[in-house]
Structure 1
Amino acid sequence: MIEQLHTFDVELFMRIHRGLSNGFFDWLLPLTRNRFFWSPLYLFIIIFCIKEYKKRGLYIVGGVLLTFAIGDLISSRLIKPFISRIRPCNEITLADEIIRRVPCGSGFSFPSAHATNHFGIAIFLILVFYPKWKPILPIGLAWAFIISFAQIYVGVHYPIDTIAGAALGTSIGLLTFQIYKYVIKRY
């Protein structure tokens, strides 16, 4: 069963990584996974929350930071070293198949910290803002999905890595939203 799942994961990875290869994705997707690319968005969120929501906005920003911290801690510091799955771009059996779109890195693959963090933040922000702004649901999910998909396309994660990261991030976003709600009620 595990071998079949691994075979499916590698086949799906290759269909995305090589099968969807095109100039537009080669330009766009490496950008979308770059942390500096989203800096203006992060800055906007911070300024918007503080300006529009004052003290509550500080709690929202704190919730985003807590979501990121928990996601990064669990995915990168706890699970990755325990599972120790080699990234596809470092996998010897795939060496001739990988298209080098970004530097591979020496860390492990499972789960994707990018997927964990961005799904966590997206879910947290969706839960905070959805009652007043419904478009955040598709926008937030699309944002997290494109970053996660880019991880596969550039060759640094298998699909199961990003799916697990998305599930973990969703759980963390749900948890930090509950913490946020508790804090808001108390203050």
Structure 2
Amino acid sequence: MLEFILKEDLRLFFHINGQWHNAFLDVVMPFLREPYVWAPLYLFLALFVTINYGWKGLFWIMFFLLCFGVADQTSLYLKGAVGRVRPCRDPVVSHFTRLLVMYCPGSGSFTSNHAANHFALATFCFITLKSAFRRYTWLFFAWAASIGYAQIYVGVHYPLDVFGGAIMGIIIGLLAGSFFQRRIRLEPLTS
């Protein structure tokens, strides 16, 4: 069963990285995964909660950072424990990989830190900011998914790495968001 999953993972990787590409995405995807692109969104959220919720907003920022840190460190631990080689470093796969970034990280591949971190934050934001952003809260997941997809597209992760990171991030975000909602909760903004 595991062999079948890994074979399908590799097949999907080659579709995303090698076939489903175009000139526009070749420019956008490498930038999408960089901190200077997504940091402004998180800075905006920090300012938004601080301005609108005062001291509760400061607690929200602490939980947000804690959520990020737990997801990041858990993913780093799993990378060392699993020891999966990235596609851009695999002696066989790398010859067929389109590497669209300047470097191939030396750390393990499973799980994707980008996916774990951004899905943890997306889930936390979805749970805690639902009353503020209402029907637009799903955009947090679209944002996280696009960053995860970019990891595969540029050739530094397999789809299973991103999927594993996303699941782990969602679980961490659920735990952090649920605890925050039970203990602190941001009240709906009045219009």
Measured against the shorter chain, the TM-score band is: over 0.9
The whole-number CA distance in structure 2 between the counterparts of 1:135 and 1:65 is 24
- Counterpart amino acid of residue 41 in structure 1: L
- Counterpart amino acid of residue 68 in structure 1: F
The whole-number CA distance in structure 2 between the counterparts of 1:117 and 1:90 is 23
Displacement of 1:32 after TM fit? 0.8
The 3-state SS of whatever aligns with 2:131 is: coil
The whole-number CA distance in structure 2 between the counterparts of 1:46 and 1:137 is 16
User: Partner of 1:66 in structure 2?
Assistant: 66
User: Partner of 2:35 in structure 1?
Assistant: 35
Superposed structure 1 runs of 4+ greater than 6 Å apart: none
- Counterpart amino acid of residue 87 in structure 2: P
The whole-number CA distance in structure 2 between the counterparts of 1:150 and 1:100 is 11
- Within 5 Å, which residues of 2 pair with 1:21-170? 21-76=21-76, 78-102=77-101, 103-170=103-170
User: Partner of 2:174 in structure 1?
Assistant: 174
User: Partner of 1:184 in structure 2?
Assistant: 184
What is the aligned-residue RMSD (CA, Å)? 1.2
The whole-number CA distance in structure 1 between the counterparts of 2:94 and 2:139 is 36
Unaligned runs of 5+ in 2: 186-191
User: Partner of 2:189 in structure 1?
Assistant: none
Unaligned runs of 5+ in 1: none
Identity, in percent, stands at 36
Mark the CA change 1:136 to 1:64 in structure 2 (over 3 Å): closer, same or farther.
farther
Residue correspondences, number: 184
Residues 112 and 164 of structure 1 are in contact (CA less than 8 Å); yes or no, is this contact kept in structure 2?
A: yes
The 3-state SS of whatever aligns with 1:66 is: helix
